[in-house]
Structure 1
Amino acid sequence: MAMENSPHKAAIIGGGVIGGGWVARFLLNGWDVAVYDPDPEAERKIAAVLANARRSLPALYDTALPDEGKLIFCSSIAHAVKDARWVQESAPEQLRIKHRILAEIQQHADENAVIGSSTSGFKPSELQEGASRPGQIVVAHPFNPVYLLPLIEIVASEQSDKAFVEGGCAILRDVGLKPLVIGKEIDAHIADRLLEAVWREGLWLVNDGIATTEEIDDAIRFGFGLRWAQMGLFETYRIAGGEAGMAHFIAQFGPALKWPWTKLMDVPDLTPELIAKIAAQSDAQSGALSIRELERLRDDNLVGMMRALKKSGSGAGGTINDHEKALSDKKPASGPHTLPQTVCRQVPQSWTDYNGHMNETHYLEAFAQASDTFMALIGADDAYITKGKSFFTAETHLRHLAEAGAGDTITITSQVMMAEGKKMHLFHTLYGKDGGIVATCETLLIHVDLTTRRACTPDADVAGRLKEFGDAHAKLAKPDGAGRHVGQTNA
């Protein structure tokens, strides 16, 4: 399984948490990867990281990743770095160890290869001390998990050629990363300095008995952490300044930096020159959008992130799930003698496509929600599923009759067409904001034992409740479109 002369080969020196993440990032983006790590458990540990990466990284994309490259474990640094275009050192954070490893890498690596160090604290000039080709070594500081988070801090020294650094950044972009080139050397670069400030303050809050670790984490993950995830620090505060912008925000809140709120009291004086500098940079960063446009962008991003968190119930997602359940519990129960309203909701912005209306994927999602609601009505709810039984969708037919846009309120009613034995046949009708029919969905569900994954009859109470709805709905008119097939004309 030799890799010599591969045009896309990376060498990873050190296969711990960070090194394993680098392996996954390159390998899953089609690069061949050679690993050197003296730890006898390295292969097992990296295999575990790869299992997680294979599960999660492709889920970010709506197109397939390249075929995986080849992975080999090498017995020496010399073997690993041979013919590699990118060499990543992820050794322990001790300068003496890094110097020894970097020297051995340079002894055997191609002189045109980029040698990146995962160091979170050392400056590139410190790493380059005594190096045979100092300009070849750059800081390439990633964030865990490396295979998912895109940011890589790239820090070069005055001895590094700009074209060489840009070539290295092109390699990182090729594997889906976001290189942030830092213009000046500083200990711990940018991101970790910000994290360190928050970390220090957190330690003081715990030390002084002000807050627990959970309370501090909640303050981040339920609040400003969500804003930071999509707008960072300065753009978030720009919005806080309202239509008057960043200069107004600093003028209003800047003096608070001198108040005794924090243990970190060494702050720069907010001189007119500094305020003007920050305001100008903020204008360059965000001035193309109005405050209202920035607010809408922020809100759309927040909705998308928090909706994603609902699935796992983590952070704000758990709060939304709890509130959603409370709202549902307040709704009056639907009896069998009327068509139950199984969905009433707003169309989120993320459900619309390039045509500006609700995407067919999300029509199916809305109708699936209607089926789930109806299942709960007849007793096939979460508790029933936990006991090992449920309904599986066997066949579905959708009709798209009109459009629904972001912000529209849609409702769905559900009619039982057949309820016998293991089968449940439903007809859902989706109404738009003006009360007109936007879409219909006819679906056949089969009752299944989740242990055997085979069809079986429902429990007596579920079967009885389903029959009540079926008998009542049989007296209603057959809905328009029931029984249609794809392409059938109205004649």
Structure 2
Amino acid sequence: MKIAAIGGGVIGGGWIARFVLSGHDVTVFDPHPEAERIVGEVLANATRAWQGLFQAPLPRSGRVVWASSIAEAVADADYIQESVPERLDLKHRIIAEIEAAAPASAIIGSSTSGFKPSELREAARHPDRIVVAHPFNPVYLLPVVEVVGGGAAAQRASEVLTSVGMKPVRIAREIDAHIGDRLLEAIWREALWLVNDGIATTEEIDDIIRFGFGLRWAQMGLFETYRIAGGEAGMRHFLGQFGPALKWPWTKLMDVPDLDDALIDRIAGQSDAQSGAHSIRELERIRDDNLVGIFQALKANDWGVGQTVRAQEDAFYAREVAAPSGYPLELHQTRVAGGWVDYNGHMTEFRYLQVMGDATDAFLIHIGLDAAYRAQGRSAYTVETHIRHLAEVKAGERLTVRTRLLGHDQKRFRLHHAILRDDGTEAATGEHMLLHVDTDAGRAVPMPSLLLAALDRIAAQDSTPHPEHAGQGVRAIRQSEAIA
């Protein structure tokens, strides 16, 4: 699939990074003299964030190819993301240039935060293939994208965006500013009044959001949060209890303060005092690290954005992946979290098993034993494990697991994991025997041909002798002690 991006600013750069990190080449046009530097810095931050977010090794990154014109950028493109400034006349001109050179089948997604598809389609040659694909910053992390504009183009755009880890929300009826920005606008207007009237500073308002309801919204949203607020009686009770307050003159949502020089100076000065100690790139990295932590917590609970992250990570596991030499498989990577270390400052023993267990899960997904397969009442259970602890690792170290298939038959397979440090040395190795089971009956059963074929394919890649310690385990130690 060929991707083109027109515009490489904050939003455009985020789109480029998401597509590139998902393995796609992206041809970019942006006349800004600093465009290559800006996109490069966004891509560097995005790469750092993805390395912290996913436990699966990332796909081979695509390339950013710079074009000298819109026509060059969109030639032969399958999907085109337009992210130019919010001026309708400019978007009309850009879309006209795109349509003059792009294939008639190419989908054009606009990042517009305010304009409706009907406005974008005015005078277009192929209006039905133009849709709104409005994301939220940072695009390379936040997965939601508002897709506005019906028909086959919206469906195809949603499929493309889903394939790079986005969560498209199809909006049935077009409306100015779509959904997300209308909600944000309500909070923004009220916040401006609070600063204008001297009731709160920018920092105080941000603290109330980030230490309060913002944390709830990060994982439940508005209506589900208020459902809980209604107690056991639920949403109906909440509406009956708090609904009358909506008629009280609390807000100024129908008006906006005059953004004169005095208010602009006040807001800018308070913002500098609040955040001026950090550069914009530093703030982006802090934001990204916090989001990654929230995402991982939600992934552990299989909730909200965590489900989107897990689906994308499972897709990484399922693809054909091998070590640089071709084998063993490198399916799992992780970084030693601060909470994983013991009183000696080293990763504690049971975390080695956790890393290997996660690598086993990655292997299962890789051969097709994924969530959909398990839903049919079949799974694989680990029945024996041996671990050799070889080296100490500290908080912050990045670990890569190399996995070998030591053997298999119709009901069993045996894996060998080697946990490698960044310098290639082994921190630990482990062997794991797994049985294919009928989870309802609670007994081992033969694997279907799909799994056996995947295991046969992997076994055929192994042309080297098994490690000398493989198959020995604790028994070998006991034998050596008896001899001594």
Structures share fold, TM-score greater than 0.5: yes
- The answer to whether 1:211 aligns with 2:184 is no
Secondary structure of the structure 1 residue equivalent to 2:168: strand
Q: Measure how far apart 1:58 and its partner are.
A: 3.3
Q: Is the 8 A contact 1:74 1:80 kept in 2?
A: yes
Percent identity, please.
58
- The answer to whether 1:228 aligns with 2:199 is no
Q: Measure how far apart 1:165 and its partner are.
A: 1.4
Secondary structure of the structure 2 residue equivalent to 1:22: helix
The amino acid that maps onto 2:197 is D
Partner Cα distance (2:112, 2:45) in 1: 23
Q: Measure how far apart 1:83 and its partner are.
A: 1.1
Normalization by structure 1: what TM-score? 0.56
Secondary structure of the structure 1 residue equivalent to 2:218: helix
The amino acid that maps onto 1:49 is V
Secondary structure of the structure 2 residue equivalent to 1:139: strand
Partner Cα distance (1:311, 1:91) in 2: 24
Q: Measure how far apart 1:442 and its partner are.
A: 11
What corresponds to 1:371 in structure 2? 344
Partner Cα distance (2:95, 2:289) in 1: 42
Structure with more relative contact order (C-alpha pairs < 8 Å, separation 6 or more): 2
| Residue-by-residue CA offset, 1:438-485 (whole Å, 9 max, x unaligned) | xxx998799xxxxxxxxxxxxxxxxxxxxxxxxxxxxxxxxxxxxxx9
Q: Is the 8 A contact 1:397 1:442 kept in 2?
A: no
What corresponds to 1:136 in structure 2? 129
- The answer to whether 1:255 aligns with 2:244 is yes
Which has the higher Rg, Structure 1 or Structure 2?
1
Q: Is the 8 A contact 2:341 2:348 kept in 1?
A: no
What corresponds to 1:70 in structure 2? 63
The amino acid that maps onto 1:25 is R
What corresponds to 2:190 in structure 1? 201
Q: Measure how far apart 1:33 and its partner are.
A: 0.5
Among 4, 11, 30, the residue aligned to 2:4: 11
What corresponds to 2:228 in structure 1? 239
- The answer to whether 1:123 aligns with 2:116 is yes
What corresponds to 2:370 in structure 1? none
The amino acid that maps onto 2:238 is F
- The answer to whether 1:90 aligns with 2:83 is yes
Q: Measure how far apart 1:349 and its partner are.
A: 11
The correspondence of residues 3-402 of structure 1 with structure 2, limited to 5 A, is: 8-156=1-149, 160=150, 162-264=151-253, 368-372=341-345, 398=349
Partner Cα distance (2:209, 2:166) in 1: 25
Secondary structure of the structure 1 residue equivalent to 2:252: coil
Q: How many aligned residue pairs are there?
A: 305
What corresponds to 2:330 in structure 1? none
The amino acid that maps onto 2:235 is M
Partner Cα distance (1:202, 1:36) in 2: 37
| Residue-by-residue CA offset, 1:38-91 (whole Å, 9 max, x unaligned) | 112111111111111111123222212321122210011111001111101111
Q: Measure how far apart 1:30 and its partner are.
A: 1.0
- The structure-2 alpha-carbon separation of the partners of 1:442 and 1:78, relative to structure 1 and needing over 3 Å to count, comes to closer
Q: Measure how far apart 1:138 and its partner are.
A: 0.6
Q: Is the 8 A contact 1:351 1:362 kept in 2?
A: no
Secondary structure of the structure 2 residue equivalent to 1:11: strand
Q: Measure how far apart 1:168 and its partner are.
A: 1.2
Q: Is the 8 A contact 2:70 2:97 kept in 1?
A: yes
Q: Is the 8 A contact 1:13 1:36 kept in 2?
A: yes
Partner Cα distance (1:310, 1:71) in 2: 25
Partner Cα distance (1:119, 1:82) in 2: 22
Partner Cα distance (2:22, 2:287) in 1: 29
Q: Is the 8 A contact 1:398 1:442 kept in 2?
A: no
Q: Is the 8 A contact 2:52 2:335 kept in 1?
A: no
Secondary structure of the structure 2 residue equivalent to 1:64: coil
Partner Cα distance (1:313, 1:32) in 2: 28
The correspondence of residues 397-436 of structure 1 with structure 2, limited to 5 A, is: 398=349
| Residue-by-residue CA offset, 1:77-119 (whole Å, 9 max, x unaligned) | 1110011111011111111110000011011111111101111
Q: Is the 8 A contact 1:123 1:186 kept in 2?
A: yes
What corresponds to 1:435 in structure 2? none
| Residue-by-residue CA offset, 1:406-432 (whole Å, 9 max, x unaligned) | xxxxxxxxxxxxxxxxxxxxxxxxxxx
- The structure-2 alpha-carbon separation of the partners of 1:246 and 1:265, relative to structure 1 and needing over 3 Å to count, comes to farther
Q: Measure how far apart 1:311 and its partner are.
A: 12
Partner Cα distance (1:443, 1:189) in 2: 54
Partner Cα distance (1:22, 1:310) in 2: 17
Secondary structure of the structure 2 residue equivalent to 1:148: coil
- The structure-2 alpha-carbon separation of the partners of 1:172 and 1:443, relative to structure 1 and needing over 3 Å to count, comes to closer
Normalization by structure 2: what TM-score? 0.57
Q: Measure how far apart 1:260 and its partner are.
A: 1.6
Q: Measure how far apart 1:365 and its partner are.
A: 6.2
The amino acid that maps onto 2:167 is K
Partner Cα distance (2:290, 2:129) in 1: 45
Q: Measure how far apart 1:151 and its partner are.
A: 0.9
Q: Is the 8 A contact 2:147 2:171 kept in 1?
A: yes
Structure 2 unaligned residues grouped into runs of 5+: 256-285, 303-333, 355-388, 395-471
Q: Is the 8 A contact 2:130 2:153 kept in 1?
A: no
Secondary structure of the structure 1 residue equivalent to 2:81: strand
Partner Cα distance (2:208, 2:159) in 1: 37
Partner Cα distance (1:250, 1:141) in 2: 31
Secondary structure of the structure 1 residue equivalent to 2:125: coil
Structure 1 unaligned residues grouped into runs of 5+: 1-7, 267-308, 318-347, 353-360, 373-392, 404-440, 447-484
